A and B are shown apart, each in its own frame.
Chain A
Amino acid sequence: MSFPWAKQYEPKLPLMKFLDEKLPLPRFVYNAVGAGYPVPRNLNYFWNFGVLAGFCLVIQIVTGVILAMHYAPNALVAFDSTEHIMRDVNWGWMLRYGHANGASFFFVVVYVHIFRGLFFSSYKAPREMIWLLGVVIFLLMMATAFMGYVLPWGQMSFWGAKVITGLFGAIPLVGEPLQIWLLGGYAPDNAALNRFFSLHFLLPFVILGVVILHIWALHIPGSSNPTGVEVKSESDTVPFHPYYTAKDGFGLGVFLVIYTLFVFFMPNSLGHPDNYIPANPLSTPAHIVPEWYFWPFYAILRAFTQDFLFIPAKLMGVIAMFASILVWFFLPWLDRSPVRSGLYRPVFRKFFYALLVAMAVLFWCGGAPAEEPYVMLSQIAAMYYFAHFLIILPLVSSFETPKPLPGSITEAVLGDKTGGHDAVPLATTNDAPASA
């Protein structure tokens, strides 16, 4: 579906006409990310992060496929083959640092993308499916990143794998057999490393598939926008190309500058030194920590330090950690406010900022050693995290008076109270700008 005023693809070259009849791939692209996709004209820079996330996925797949040509997934040589890539493979260091930091940047971008969705309530009807698919992508990313971190077979790889698979051991009755089945043994070894490599290669393509569904679902209602007011007329939108391709090009440039600063000048700053020590099952690192992008959830896991009634503390932590992400699946039905954008919800907005603070505290505590005051701080932050999604969000709309919404996107942009009538003629509706 698209808006009735969407531009139609008109092939001019004979080759394009031929293609359009036999396999309308150019038409598909034109309607997906070209001039045939009308997008609200008022998107801010937070709307760049979807495209950036897609770009990160491409970086990861390209560098990862080449790294897999040189890496050996065997517990005896995995660490050495990683060093072989760093030392002997032409530009191997750039590929590996690009891939390791690429994972971190993928998560940075996706966290911004998710929290943009939370602030502007992008999960609300009619966009529930986009949000659900997005949470699925995030879960797949977490699994992929976890298994990728195991591959260099350093100390943190090994002990991280042991701790994370150990979480399944907390499940009553089936836990222990499940953990042994997942690892292919009692502790991480060659069997685990081999299957993690296989799945680490497979899952990015599953992610790619779900990303295509995510974008497909997006094109049915069209993009949301900072006002949360749906598109009403042609003057509310501009064609994706050249308007948002240009804006995304600039956003991509800024992203790449920061990303390459890390790759070339501080490539190990986001990693842990212990992972340059080969895996040793007989020597436990002083502090086992996952990669930084898992820290908030790791903090929630460790916040549960006491058995509660008949539930062991570890099981409670595991349940809470999974619940902290699974709760996102229910947001479209928990938040009942008819207003989408946080910009027009004064009360929700304050709670949202508190959520950001809680997330920051969880990030900080998740990377810190399991001692006071970090444990108590993460308990307070975790309390707010669950209260925010499960208690505050469902209730806040019943006592909040939203600010008046603009009549239309155009009105919000032009400050025009007459509504919908565009004083400035849009160059885009008929003729493209000279530069395009």
Chain B
Amino acid sequence: MARLISIIVGLGFVVVLLYTFAVGAYTAATEKAEVTAEHEFHLTPRDAHLQSAGWTGTFDYQQVQRGYQVYKEVCSACHSLRHVAIRNLGELGYSEAEVKAEASSWMVPGIDPNTGESTLIEGSPTDYFPSPYPNAVAAAAANNNAVPPDLSLITKARHDGGNYVYSLLTGYADPETYTHDGKSLKEEFPDFTTPTGLNFNPYFPNLNLAMAAPLSDGQVTYADGTEASLDQMAKDVAAFLVWTAEPTLQKRHATGFPVVLFLIFASVLAFLAYRNVWRNVKH
């Protein structure tokens, strides 16, 4: 009886699925799936060859410092960094005095000690990086309705984040003349347009993003004398944003190696103990 009910129920599921499958297969066969420009021309990120990549990844602190300079002079005009405190710069190799001096170059929200009113005061190392806009509405209003995302976690919030940031910053192109793998975007998709106020970039999922190309050659003057090419700045800021998203990356890798090596050693010992315990028992 139990088996009879079971077979009936099972046939029920199979019949419903067969019906669904048949309808779906008929639709798939008769209606040609629309091929979109996003599908054909969206690119996966290029490799920025960051030192933080891979299992032995570490931070190139010189580079991360340069990336911080790019963030401060360019990105911070629109993008916040709310999970990072100014004191965290100490981890990049800045001395205590340098961190203090750096903190005082940022104006952060505070309270006027005389009147008690909200105002901007000079930052201290314990402050977090201030947001360029007081709230999301102000951010949207200033940016053609697109809120610039917070950058603290951006390299973890995108697939292959470090390379993505680098590719996006260097990937702006003109949709009229854009070609990839010998295929021209305009020839394949004559109807493709980049709306006014948006910018074409093949590394962005729908190919059109609100941010205009923010970097151009020589935009910052690096303190360490490195030539500030677009490629260099994009790599440096990607390295910086990998650090802001995962400041513990280097410590994590450094901890992981002895832990894994110890566990491999312990497993070998455990295997020998197992063989020894079972040596007289066939199994």
Chain B nearest CB from A315 CB (Å) reads: 11
Pair B10/A391 contact, Cβ less than 8 Å: yes
Tell me the residues in window 224-283 of chain B with beta carbons closer than 8 Å to chain A beta carbons: 245, 247-248, 252-253, 255-257, 259-260, 263-264, 266-267, 270-271, 273-274, 276-283
Q: Mark B181-220, 1 if CB is under 8 A from A, else 0.
A: 0000000000000000000000001000000000000000
Query: In the docked arrangement, what's the CA distance between A66 and B161, Å?
Result: 29
Query: In the docked arrangement, what's the CA distance between A383 and B24, Å?
Result: 14
Question: Is A293 an interface position by the 8 A CB rule?
Answer: no
Chain A nearest CB from B136 CB (Å) reads: 10
Pair B278/A86 contact, Cβ less than 8 Å: no
Pair A257/B264 contact, Cβ less than 8 Å: yes
Pair A94/B255 contact, Cβ less than 8 Å: yes
Chain B nearest CB from A76 CB (Å) reads: 14
Pair B253/A428 contact, Cβ less than 8 Å: no
Chain A nearest CB from B277 CB (Å) reads: 4
Pair B280/A424 contact, Cβ less than 8 Å: yes
Question: Is A386 an interface position by the 8 A CB rule?
Answer: yes
Tell me the residues in window 301-321 of chain A with beta carbons closer than 8 Å to chain B beta carbons: 303-306, 308, 311, 313, 316, 320
Tell me the residues in window 129-161 of chain B with beta carbons closer than 8 Å to chain A beta carbons: 149, 152-153, 156-159, 161
Tell me the residues in window 16-39 of chain B with beta carbons closer than 8 Å to chain A beta carbons: 16-21, 23-25, 28, 33
Question: Is A93 an interface position by the 8 A CB rule?
Answer: yes
Chain A nearest CB from B56 CB (Å) reads: 9
Pair A316/B16 contact, Cβ less than 8 Å: yes
Pair B271/A375 contact, Cβ less than 8 Å: no
Query: In the docked arrangement, what's the CA distance between A371 and B17, Å?
Result: 16
Chain B nearest CB from A426 CB (Å) reads: 6
Query: In the docked arrangement, what's the CA distance between A171 and B167, Å?
Result: 46
Chain A residue numbers with a CB within 8 Å of B159 are: 273
Pair B260/A386 contact, Cβ less than 8 Å: no
Pair A379/B24 contact, Cβ less than 8 Å: yes
Pair B267/A94 contact, Cβ less than 8 Å: no
Question: Would you call the interface of chain B mostly helix, strand, loop, or mixed?
Answer: helix
Given contacts A243-B281, A433-B279, contact A304 B17 (CB under 8 A): yes
Question: Is B2 an interface position by the 8 A CB rule?
Answer: yes
Question: Is A87 an interface position by the 8 A CB rule?
Answer: yes
Pair B276/A435 contact, Cβ less than 8 Å: yes
Pair B281/A426 contact, Cβ less than 8 Å: yes
Chain A nearest CB from B234 CB (Å) reads: 20
Pair A308/B252 contact, Cβ less than 8 Å: no
Chain B residue numbers with a CB within 8 Å of A93 are: 248, 252
Chain B residue numbers with a CB within 8 Å of A94 are: 252, 255
Question: Is A264 an interface position by the 8 A CB rule?
Answer: yes
Question: Is B77 an interface position by the 8 A CB rule?
Answer: no
Chain A residue numbers with a CB within 8 Å of B256 are: 260-261, 263-265
Given contacts A390-B13, A395-B7, A414-B282, contact A379 B205 (CB under 8 A): no
Chain B nearest CB from A16 CB (Å) reads: 24
Give the A-B pair count, Cβ closer than 8 A: 184
> For residue A392, which residue of chain B has the nearest CB?
B10
Pair A334/B2 contact, Cβ less than 8 Å: yes
Chain B residue numbers with a CB within 8 Å of A328 are: none
Pair B14/A386 contact, Cβ less than 8 Å: yes
Pair B24/A276 contact, Cβ less than 8 Å: no
Instruction: Return the contact of B24 from the options A83, A305, A395, A424 (Cβ within 8 A).
Output: A305
Chain A residue numbers with a CB within 8 Å of B2 are: 330, 333-334, 394
List the one stretch of A54-62, A161-169, A244-252 in contact with chain B.
A244-252
Question: Is A389 an interface position by the 8 A CB rule?
Answer: yes
> For residue B88, which residue of chain A has the nearest CB?
A87
Chain B residue numbers with a CB within 8 Å of A246 are: 270, 273-274, 276-278
Chain A nearest CB from B168 CB (Å) reads: 14
Pair A390/B24 contact, Cβ less than 8 Å: no
Chain A nearest CB from B265 CB (Å) reads: 9
Chain B residue numbers with a CB within 8 Å of A376 are: 21, 24-25, 28
Chain A residue numbers with a CB within 8 Å of B248 are: 86-87, 93
Chain B nearest CB from A428 CB (Å) reads: 7
Chain B residue numbers with a CB within 8 Å of A311 are: 16
Given contacts A330-B6, A383-B17, A433-B276, contact A256 B255 (CB under 8 A): no
Chain A residue numbers with a CB within 8 Å of B74 are: none
Chain A residue numbers with a CB within 8 Å of B281 are: 41, 238, 243, 424, 426-428
Chain A residue numbers with a CB within 8 Å of B156 are: 268, 273, 276
Instruction: Return the contact of A273 from the options B24, B158, B252, B257 (Cβ within 8 A).
Output: B158
Query: In the docked arrangement, what's the CA distance between A424 and B264, Å?
Result: 33
Chain B residue numbers with a CB within 8 Å of A372 are: 24, 28, 33
Query: In the docked arrangement, what's the CA distance between A424 and B11, Å?
Result: 52
Instruction: Return the contact of A379 from the options B9, B21, B259 (Cβ within 8 A).
Output: B21
Chain A residue numbers with a CB within 8 Å of B18 are: 383
Tell me the residues in window 332-362 of chain A with beta carbons closer than 8 Å to chain B beta carbons: 333-334, 336
Question: Is A230 an interface position by the 8 A CB rule?
Answer: no
> For residue A277, which residue of chain B has the nearest CB?
B157
Query: In the docked arrangement, what's the CA distance between A127 and B22, Å?
Result: 41
Pair B21/A380 contact, Cβ less than 8 Å: yes
Query: In the docked arrangement, what's the CA distance between A246 and B279, Å?
Result: 12
Chain B residue numbers with a CB within 8 Å of A254 are: 267
Chain B nearest CB from A21 CB (Å) reads: 32
> For residue B22, which residue of chain A has the nearest CB?
A306
18 A–B contacts from the bound complex (CB under 8 Å)? A41-B282, A93-B252, A254-B267, A257-B263, A257-B267, A260-B263, A264-B260, A276-B245, A383-B18, A387-B10, A389-B10, A390-B6, A390-B13, A394-B2, A395-B7, A424-B280, A425-B280, A428-B281
The 6 closest A-B pairs by CB, nearest first: A390-B10, A264-B256, A253-B267, A276-B157, A386-B13, A394-B3
Q: Which residues of A line the B interface, CB within 8 A?
A: 41-43, 80, 83, 86-87, 93-94, 97, 238, 242-243, 246-247, 249-250, 252-254, 256-257, 260-261, 263-265, 267-268, 273-274, 276-277, 286, 303-306, 308, 311, 313, 316, 320, 323, 330, 333-334, 336, 371-373, 375-376, 379-380, 382-383, 386-387, 389-391, 394-395, 413-414, 424-428, 433, 435-436
